[in-house]
Chains A and B, each alone.
Chain A
Amino acid sequence: MKTCLVVDDSSVVRKIARRILEGLEFQVTEAEDGSKALEICQRQLPDAVLLDWNMPVMDGFEFMGHMRRLPGGDQPKVVFCTTENNVAHIAQALSGGANEYIMKPFDKDIIADKFAEVGLIPVGQAMV
C-alpha cells in the first residue's frame, strides 16, 4: 500500500483529503504544519505528499525545500493543494520541486487525475 502525507492546517481539509486518498488505497498520515510534516519525513518518507501552502510555524514551500534535501527526499511526489491559484505561485512551486499543483477547491476527481498524472495511481483508476 502506498503512503500519503497530508499537510494542511485545516482539520476539515485533512479529513476530506484522507477520505478521498483512502478511497484511492493510500495509507494516510496527517500533519498540521510544515514543521510537523518534516519530523514525520525524517522518520520515514512517504510516497506522496499532499501539501498546503499557507500554514503556521512552517509553510508548505519551506517544508518542501527541507524535505527535498533529506536522503531520498527527491523520491516522494509532491502535489501542492492550496488556495494560492496564481501563475507566480505555481511557477515557484514547480521550480522548487513540486510535481503537480491543485488549486482549491478540489474534489475526488481532481485528486485522482493529478495523482494519476504523476504516476501515483494507474490512469484507469482515475476514471472510476
Chain B
Amino acid sequence: MTPTEYEYLRKFLKDNSGLDLSADKQYLIESRLLPLARKAGLSGIPELVQKLHGGSRTLITDVVEAMTTNETFFFRDKVPFDHFRDTIMPEVIKARAARRSVRIWCAAGSTGQEPYSLAMSLKEMGAALTGWRIEIIATDLSQEVLEKARAGIYSQFEVQRGLPIQMLMKYFKQNGETWQINPELRAMIQHRQLNLLHDFAQLGTFDVIFCRNVLIYFDQDTKINIFNRLARQIEPDGFLVLGAAETVVGLTDTFRPIPERRGLYKPNDPRAAAAKPALAGAAPRMAIMAGR
C-alpha cells in the first residue's frame, strides 16, 4: 500500500464512519481489508482503493463495516459489570422506586455481548426488579453486527470468553456447535442502527449509558461533541460508563468521574457546565461533520 493509498483510506474512513486512524495503522487496514478485497475478487488494496474512488456503494459499506472493530466478549473487563450490579442498579432501584422503570443504552452494542451481559446481570438481581419495566437499547453502526446481536447466536469459542459456565447453562440453549441466548433475554433488548456522529436525541433519555471502547477511535473534537450530546440524553442522576482506556477528564465538564469507581461517571449540573467557556466551539464543528 502506498502512502497515498493509505492517506486516501484514512480520509475515507474518517468521512464515512468517524474512525480516526493514526498514521501508523497500515497493518490494521491490511489485516481487515485484504480478506475483503480478496472476497470481492480484487487483487489487493490498490485495486480496492480504485473501486472506492469509483464510488461503489456496496464496497463502501463493506469497508466501513470491516474497519469498525467488533472485538467484544461477555462481561468484558468485568469491573464495569460489578459497578453495574453493586453501585449503579442499587441507586437506580432506590431513585426509580416510584415509577419502577429503567432505561439503559448500550451505545456500542456490537455483536450483543454487552447488552446481553447487562440483561443477565438484571436477571440475576431477581426479585428486586419484579414488576419493573426494563428497556435496553443497543445501537451499533454496522447492520451486519446488529443482525448477529439480534439473533443472539454465538460460537462455542465466543461463549467461553468472559461468560461463567453457570450463566451459559442458565441463559443459553445449545444447538449443535452454537449457543443461542434465551428468548426471554432477547426480548429485553431493542437493537437499532445508529452512527454516533449523527443526532441521537430521538432515543430519549436514559438512566444508564454504556459507551465503551468506541470513543477511542474518534478525534478530540468529535469526542467532546459526543460527550456533550450524551449529556443531553442522560437523566440528571444517571450514570455513564466508559471503557478502561477512556475518560472525560480534560475534554468536557458535562460529566465527572465517580471516585474509586473506575470508568463510571455522573452528569454535572448542566447550568454549571454551561457556565464554563472551555466547551464553546465543539458543537458547530460537529454540525459540519453530521451534515456530510
Contact = CB atoms under 8 A, between A and B. Distances in A.
Contacts of A101: 165
A113 B161 contact: yes
A117 B79 contact: no
A94 B168 CA distance: 12
Contact of B169 (A90, A102, A127): A90
Interface in B156-202: 156-157, 160-162, 164-166, 168-169, 174, 177
A55 interface: no
Contacts of A123: 77-79
Contacts of A86: 174
A32 interface: no
Contact of A110 (B161, B168, B169): B161
A44 to B, nearest CB: 27
A90 to B, nearest CB: 6
Given A87-B169, A91-B169, A127-B77, A103 B174 contact: no
B165 A100 contact: yes
Interface string A7-25: 0000000000000000000
A42 interface: no
Contacts of A87: 169, 174
A103 B160 CA distance: 8
A114 interface: yes
A110 B156 CA distance: 11
Interface in B58-84: 73, 77-79
A117 B159 CA distance: 13
Given A87-B174, A123-B79, A127-B77, A94 B165 contact: yes
B165 A90 contact: yes
A90 B167 CA distance: 12
Majority secondary structure, B binding face: loop
A109 interface: yes
A85 B157 CA distance: 11
A100 B164 contact: yes
A102 B160 contact: yes
B164 A103 contact: no
Contact of B156 (A103, A109, A114, A116): A103
A87 B156 CA distance: 12
B151 to A, nearest CB: 20
Interface in A69-128: 85-87, 90-91, 94, 100-103, 106, 109-110, 113-114, 116-117, 123, 127
A114 B164 CA distance: 7
A123 B77 CA distance: 8
Nearest to B159: A103
A87 B78 CA distance: 25
A109 B160 CA distance: 9
Nearest to B165: A101
Interface in B21-79: 73, 77-79
A31 B198 CA distance: 58
A116 B82 CA distance: 14
Contacts of B165: 90, 94, 100-101, 114
B79 to A, nearest CB: 7
A113 B162 contact: yes
A100 B169 CA distance: 11
The 6 closest A-B pairs by CB, nearest first: A101-B165, A110-B160, A123-B78, A103-B156, A117-B164, A87-B174
5 contacts: A85-B156, A85-B177, A86-B174, A94-B166, A103-B160
